[in-house]
Amino acid sequence: MTAIVNIFLKEGVLDPQGKAIHHALDAMNFEGVQDVRMGKQIVLKLTSTNRDEAIKEVTQMAEEILANTVIEDYKIELL
């Protein structure tokens, strides 16, 4: 089973990388982009075949080490 953890800054936290990307897109005449938020994606290959156990385990990983939950949110997807 594969778990994908998408981590991104919480709303209200400044995102200088996102602002730089947005500025670059504007400079390159890409229209219609209202805002950009930069994040990261972590892909985990799991040995577990039980979806409930996998979600529980990956949530614990995200809370303890993968994300800084003070300033970041995360979403988990199992494939």
The CATH number for 71's domain is 3.30.1280.10
In the chain, how many domains are there?
1
Q: What is the pTM of this model?
A: 0.86
**pLDDT (0 to 100) of residue 14:** 95
pLDDT band at 32 (very low <50, low <70, confident <90, very high): very high
Owning domain of residue 64: 2-78
**pLDDT (0 to 100) of residue 20:** 97
pLDDT band at 8 (very low <50, low <70, confident <90, very high): very high
- Give the largest Cα separation in the chain, rounded: 48
Taking the C-alpha atoms of residue 55 and residue 63, their distance in angstroms, rounded to an integer, is 12
Mean predicted lDDT score pLDDT of the chain: 96
**pLDDT (0 to 100) of residue 16:** 96
Cα four-point dihedral sign 11, 37, 20, 23: negative
